Structure 1
Amino acid sequence: RSLVTFANPSGSPITVAVEVANNFGSDSGTTIVGTSSGDTSYTLADSWVTTWDGSSEINTTAFATPGAVVTPDSYTQTVFNCAGPQGMGATFTLTVPAFATQSLVFFGGIAEIDGTGDTDTANAMANAMMFESLSTVDPSLTSDLSPAQVAQIVNYVGEPVLIEDVPVPTLSQWALLVLMVLMGLFGFGAFRRRA
């Protein structure tokens, strides 16, 4: 997961073009094997895409969800060169209001996201469905985000599931005092037996 944050300290809106690209190192054999709309054509109506070169692990990319405040202007399958220029890229136009902060979050992974590392396209697409909303993304990918950071994300719909902190059991001061006395008595008794 990548979280890219843009802060505007000025008194006027600032508009920027944001380009993001993934090149998983697959080659000219790379093809789209699935999208969120169920076909093999990655369009602005899709929230995720899976690609594969037919031999190595499947790649999953998710740039945004349709219906979000900010969505991509375009997608491309030609990005920077890494064993070939094949990959997935998106271009956004982001307008950050005066004295505001906005964030874009992106997800990408090799294999079927669940770490099995095989080349099961059906498994890859089933796991990619989590990227159709922040509320369905695996909490391990978003649990480190604060509520303020989540509120700044503009390219996804939904709220992530938060993993609740489990409180650490503690003892009251009286219980600690009793425990210390008992440990002291035990230690004193053990010391006296040796002497």
Structure 2
Amino acid sequence: MKKTSFVDLEVKIPPYFSLTHNCTCNRRHKPACDCKTLNYMCSKMIVVEIPYKNSELIDAVRSMIKISTEEREFKFWNKLLDYPRGLHILRNRLKNSYISFDLPYVAVLTPTVKYRVHIAKGDVSFPKTVVFNNITSSGVFKLPIHWNSSTFPKEAFLTLTASNLNEIRRYRLIFEPPQEYIDLKY
């Protein structure tokens, strides 16, 4: 993925979301970003579903294997890369290899990744770090965002940076208002 490209993620705004209701989080005397005190039913809360699987990364590893192995071995790895065990086996194989160009790839071949979270919007609260336990899973990670702004969310940019700095995920969050809001507006 290019440095400036983003993957679009549609974010459904829950029907109870409101700009006019008061925040119900227990955040008195605490910084706005203290996500330990967030109430997930607060009228300012939005949950972003981020895919665990980093398809771009897995596809890049597949391409690397395809050009560096024979067809029979590629078929083996192609099936195995969809599971955490496949990344583990490949990582150990590369670590034990004497080929020096393989070494930079070893760091990204771990199924559990801790990410630093950044949202390019000054008026939101969110956890500063998250851990994905299985980046080969087809499930989603539910990232809570507390919308502190007085304007309705339309778009925001989310960046997840792996703690080892070898992986960066970039998402453009496109907020989809609830049907009730659309009906009232039009």
Instruction: Specify if TM > 0.5.
Output: no
More helix by share: 2
TM-score normalized with structure 2 length? 0.29
Based on CA coordinates, which of the two structures has the bigger radius of gyration? 1
TM-score normalized with structure 1 length? 0.28
Name the structure, 1 or 2, with higher relative contact order (CA <8 Å, separation 6+): 2
